[in-house]
Structure 1
Amino acid sequence: MPPNDVRLRQQMLRRKPVSAFLADSEQAESQQGGGLRRTVGTFQLTMIGVGATIGTGIFFTLSTAVPEAGPAVILSFVIGAITAALTALCYAELTSAVPVSGSSYSYAYATLGELAAWVVGSCLLLEYAVSGSAIAVSWGQYLNDLTNRLFGVTMPAAISAPPGDGGYVNLPGVVLVVLCCLLLMRGSKESTLVNTIMVLIKLAVLVLFVVIGITGFHSANLHPFAPMGFAGISAAASSVFFSFIGLDAVSTAGEEVKNPQKTLPRALIGALVVVTAFYCVVALVGVGAQKWTLFNGQDAGLSAILQRVTGQNWPGALLSAGAVISIVSVTLVVIYGQTRILYSMGRDGMLPPVFRKVNPRTGTPVGNTLIVGAFIAVLAAFVPLDWLANLTSMGTLVAFAVVSIGVIVLRVREPLLKRGFKVPGYPVVPALSVIFCLYLIWNLPANTFLLFAGWLVLALAVYFGYSRKHSRLGRAKGDDQPLDAGPVMAD
């Protein structure tokens, strides 16, 4: 094999040791105003996970998932929850062993090598940016429903409906992204406090939906239970899986969490339990209170169900208000997660230094946040909603599968590494997690695979054109002179 080919192969397979990740985190923390700050506790972190999850799957996904599966959409959520549970256990082990920012990008870098880490990081960027856009797009639907119920006023569909579905530019989505970015730039402590308040409000609103909606529950609405058969259930499960993105969002906060080796696993498992319970109960009440054929194309679906059950306006208005608040919290956490992944990639030299610049006053990556916000706002403004949802599922599932593989690889390569949590039933649980993820990927529509392939081609072009040449790991190994390990101070 020619020397250049050997060198390229070595570059793509080089791994960043866990000790190097921990050293980077400690060095950044020790620098005055130079790194992210540990201000987040277990409850706040659990609320980040719940906040990033509930809001996407319940407040608008039923309108697209129920027509695919019928009342059996409940089973679709169960399949998604099982896959998420298996993966959550794998995340819990890796977060306790490698408690740093960067989520599955960092785990892949420590276990599978630089190229694999870059691909996973690209999937995460797709996952977060696209899901943030999808969520922001849906905000306009519930905002319109709320203003219509309260004041009889709605925004024109051209600027509020999803692009490609009656809309041309989704202006509310752009406004929402801007507001979330402004809050995130103030600091993690302030952002997590606001998020916790909004999450508690949205959970209260969903409890209200269950209490009122169950009065209109009719078992006849559950027949036929699976009109599209198991194929429909599987297709819906693949579509709604992006609702479980919150699990990954928890792991992005590794360098801003107090006592991360215990806090991260607890928050992951706690968020999954809360989310699964709410998803299944709300879905059951929804399909029991309204015929499944009525969900197709229904904007602000849960509000419409309450209106139908009670014959009154106020329950639907209250639920739409809760959805407006809920979707704000989801968008906030999604943008937060993406900026922390980009921060880790920038610190590793895989992206330009602007992504690792931290404001010394707020301890937040301001320039990074502005870039992420602009990208998500453009997607929310112009890209059709169904494209966004399926692409998010693809990126999420690929990242989840890599995390599960990473658990096995790290057990083999570093068996003595300190772990605050270990996956029960190893190696069966990680293997099952990979199998479930691949199964859901297989059921995604063909156009999603084409869009995903295009994204990977673009990502690989950036890696070979920039990242492999600027990688800190490569420079430390002699490809070039060493690069400073810490974050760059903002001007």
Structure 2
Amino acid sequence: MPLDARMLLRRKPISTLHAETGTDTGGGELRRSMGVVRLTMIGVGSTVGTGIFIVLNEAVPKAGPAVVLSFVLAGVTAALTALCYAELASSIPVSGASYTYAYATLGEIVAYVVGACLVLEYGVAASAVAVGWGEYLNRLLGDTVGWQLPEALSAPPGEGGIVNVPAAVLVLLCCFLLVRGARESATINAVTVFIKLAVLMLFVVVALMAFSDDNARPFAPFGVAGIGTAASTVFFSYIGMDTVSTAGEEVRNPRRTLPLAIFWSIVIVTTVYILVAVAGIGAQPWQLFEGQDAGLAAILGNLTGAGWAAIVIAAGGVISIFGVTLTTIYGQTRVLFSMGRDGMLPESFHKVHPRRRTPVRNTLIVSAFVGLLAAVVPLSTLADLTSMGTLVAFTVVSAGVIVLRRTRPDLERGFRVPGGPVVPVLSIAACLYLIYELPVETYLMFAIWLAVALTWYFGYSVKHSKLAREWSGGHGRQADAAGADRS
């Protein structure tokens, strides 16, 4: 079949998305079992912990005490994008998040690229946080039983180790839970969220008692450039927001539930991040953050001289990172589930267990991929690559709001972004700025990843997508019209 440029821009009708997922009937292939609280906990669970327990040590050396402003900048960008996600999630409440939104608004090739970005955002992010689990597990073991895993078996190559065994074990545990079912995983995640928030508030209280102005001087040793660079790194911490939107087919009353869960997730996450960043910066000189394993536990241990404080934070880190890894792998499987349903990936990614109604094969494949990355790739590389995938996906979502307002002004929306096109445009500008601040090597790795992904698209997806069947049957024009959802 000769390649027609119009094939790359064919769009999936929103009416088809609703019919496939049972949006208007309450049915669908996945079980609808979650409400606002559980879904908000998924958002918070996949976010809080990533930035605070791990990325703070990567970001502070780039910006100094001004990393607080980096968190504010990243938070503002995330909040702008959250508004765009809320509108699209309430209009197209299905699994797949920004991949599905792009398919309905911008066309197949854009949607596929976004899907490739989401593989980075979720799969690589899950690997990144799993890498940090070994640090906190070793800290906890050292403070409680006086023994730690050998560095060769608890860190990846490039960071003093050979293979990160704890990271692989963590991914295996998360895989087991996700195979059992979304409701069970959401319940366990909610418990871990409450524990981690309590632990982080303990850190804030103790660290603020030792706050010293001297630790915040000089405030911005690397200037505005340092703040922007650090913001690009810590933005990796905001992926939980769109994990919420991947659950569109597993929540009750999605048009109301999704926007509320996105809103509360971003409020809770941004508040906690800024509080912990301020407390951490005031509690010790910023130069000490670089290379500091299990950073928050180390800070409290140095401040109090008492083992209990470090033990509590280390235990909180172990529990927190477990929850983050669990929900991030969950988001990854739901994106690939949608891509498999559309024919972009093999059918195995779309198959659902008849009793549990979860994508078991999909979960096993994703967990194997995540576990391998976590075992052998350094954290800093994973964090920046995740930020790139996240920011590209967020940019497309914001553009999708503008497009859908023009092409489908009549579409039912449970939430509308205030300010017309201003907020989406500001969101796009903020995302592009943070992309610009990423290291050059991240661009190179991202380009390689996209080249591999596009090779798969032109070799497999463009011929196997469901919309391709209509096209090959001589209905290209009709499919194009349907893609615009004017039928």
TM tier, shorter chain?
A: over 0.9
Equivalent position of 1:485 in the other structure: none
Matched, 1:212 2:206: yes
- Is the contact made by 1:147 and 1:153 (CA closer than 8 Å) also made in structure 2? yes
1:94 alignment counterpart = 88
The answer to whether 1:360 aligns with 2:359 is no
Q: Quick one: which of 367, 380, 383 aligns to 2:377? A: 383
Query: Match for 1:468 among 447, 459, 462?
Result: 462
Q: Which residue in the other structure is 2:481 paired with?
A: none
Amino acid at match of 2:104: A
CA contact (8 A) 1:29 1:37 kept: no
In structure 1, give the amino acid aligned to 2:174. Answer: C
Match of 2:131 in 1: 137
Structure 2 residue 5 is matched with structure 1 residue 9: yes
Deviation at 1:476, TM superposition (A): 3.2
Counterpart of 2:155?
161
Counterpart position of 2:296: 302
Write the mapping of 1:49-198 to structure 2, written as runs, cut at 5 A.
49-198=43-192
The offset of 1:126, in angstroms, is 1.1
Which of residues 296, 303, 309 in structure 2 aligns to 1:315? Answer: 309
Query: Which of residues 236, 252, 274 is equivalent to 2:230?
Result: 236
Q: Is the 8 Å Cα contact of residues 130 and 171 (structure 2) preserved in structure 1?
A: yes
Aligned to 1:18: 14
Deviation at 1:161, TM superposition (A): 1.9
Counterpart residue number, 2:484:
none
One-letter amino acid matched to 1:11: M
Query: Structure 2: which amino acid aligns with 1:26?
Result: G
Deviation track 1:117-157 (CA, whole Å, cap 9, x = no partner) reads 00000000111111010000000000000000001100011
Question: How far did 1:81 drift?
Answer: 0.2
Q: Which consecutive aligned stretches of 4+ in structure 1 deviate over 6 angstroms post-superposition?
A: 27-31
Kindly indicate whether residue 262 of structure 2 is the aligned counterpart of residue 271 of structure 1. Answer: no
1:447 pairs with 2:441: yes
Q: Which residue of 1 aligns with 2:287?
A: 293
Match of 2:38 in 1: 44
Q: Contact 1:98/1:107 (CA < 8 Å) preserved in 2?
A: yes
Alignment partner of 2:33: what SS?
coil
Identity of aligned residues (%): 60
Q: Displacement, 1:478?
A: 4.3
Q: Cα gap change, 1:21/1:465 in structure 2, threshold over 3 Å: closer, same or farther? A: same
* Counterpart residue number, 1:487: none
> Is residue 23–residue 93 contact of structure 2 (8 Å, CA) maintained in 1?
no
**Could you say which residue in structure 2 is the equivalent of 1:423?**
417
Contact 1:52 1:331 in 2 (8 A): yes
Letter in 1 for 2:103: Y
Give the conservation status (yes or no) of the 8 Å contact 1:72–1:233: yes
CA distance in 2, matches of 1:178, 1:218: 42
* Structure 1 residues 58 and 480: CA distance shift in structure 2, 3 A: farther
Q: What's 2:344 paired with?
A: 350
1:421 aligned counterpart, secondary structure: coil
Deviations 1:91-119, CA, capped at 9 Å, x for gaps: 00000000000000000000010000000
Instruction: Tell me the residue number matched to 1:226.
Output: 220
Cross-structure match for 1:489: none
Give how far 1:162 is off: 3.5
CA contact (8 A) 2:61 2:287 kept: yes
**Counterpart of 1:433?**
427
> Kindly tell me: are residues 410 and 310 of structure 1, through their superposed partners in 2, closer, same or farther at Cα, counting changes over 3 Å?
same
Shift in Å, 1:323: 0.6
Task: Tell me: CA distance 1:424–1:30, structure 2 relative to 1, closer, same or farther (3 Å).
Answer: closer
- Give the Å deviation of 1:166: 0.3
Q: For residue 60 of structure 1, give the secondary structure of its aligned residue in structure 2.
A: helix
Distance in 1, Cα, partners of 2:248 & 2:325? 19
Q: Distance in 2 between the 1:133 and 1:479 partners?
A: 42
Paired with 1:348 and 1:27, the residues of 2 have a C-alpha distance of 17
Bigger drift between 212-221 and 137-146 goes to 212-221
- For 1:58, what is the secondary structure of its paired residue? helix
Q: Deviation per CA, 1:429-469: give whole Å up to 9, x if none.
A: 00000000000000000000000000000000000000011
3-state SS of paired residue (1:357): coil
The CA distance in 2 between the partners of 1:30 and 1:321, in whole Å, is: 40
Offset at 1:8? 2.2
- TM-score by length of structure 1 reads 0.95
Following the alignment from structure 2 to structure 1, what is the Cα–Cα distance between the partners of residues 239 and 146? 35
**What's the counterpart of residue 488 of structure 1?**
none
Contact kept? 2:26, 2:32, Cα under 8 Å: no
CA contact (8 A) 2:18 2:24 kept: no
Aligned residues: CA RMSD: 1.6
Residue 254 in structure 1 maps to residue 257 in structure 2: no
Alpha-carbon offset, residue 168 of structure 1: 1.3
Question: Residue 155 of structure 1: SS of its match in structure 2?
Answer: coil
Find the residue that maps to 2:51 and give its secondary structure: coil
| 1-structure distance, mates of 2:181, 2:56 | 34
Secondary structure of the residue aligned to 2:467 is helix
> What amino acid maps onto 1:23 in structure 2?
A
Amino acid at match of 1:147: L
CA offsets, 1:375-425, max 9 Å, x none?
001101111111100000000000000000000000000010000000001
**Contact 1:138 1:162 (8 Å CA) reproduced:** no
Aligned to 1:152, the other structure's residue is in SS state coil
Q: Tell me, yes or no, if the aligned pair for 2:68 and 2:278 is still in contact at 8 Å.
A: yes
The yes-or-no answer on 1:398 pairing with 2:398 is no
Question: Is the alpha carbon distance of 1:480 and 1:124 closer, same or farther for their aligned partners in structure 2, counting shifts above 3 Å?
Answer: farther
* Contact 1:28–1:35 under 8 Å retained in 2: no
Alpha-carbon separation, structure 2, partners of 1:68 and 1:351? 39
Equivalent residues of 2:89, 2:255 under 8 A apart: yes
1:204, distance to aligned residue in structure 2 (A): 0.4
- Once the two structures are superposed, residues 309-358 of structure 1 have per-residue CA deviations (whole angstroms, 9 ceiling, x without a partner) of 11111101001001100000000000000000000000011110000000
CA distance in 2, matches of 1:299, 1:183: 28
Deviations 1:219-253 (A, max 9, x none): 11111000111111110000110100001100000
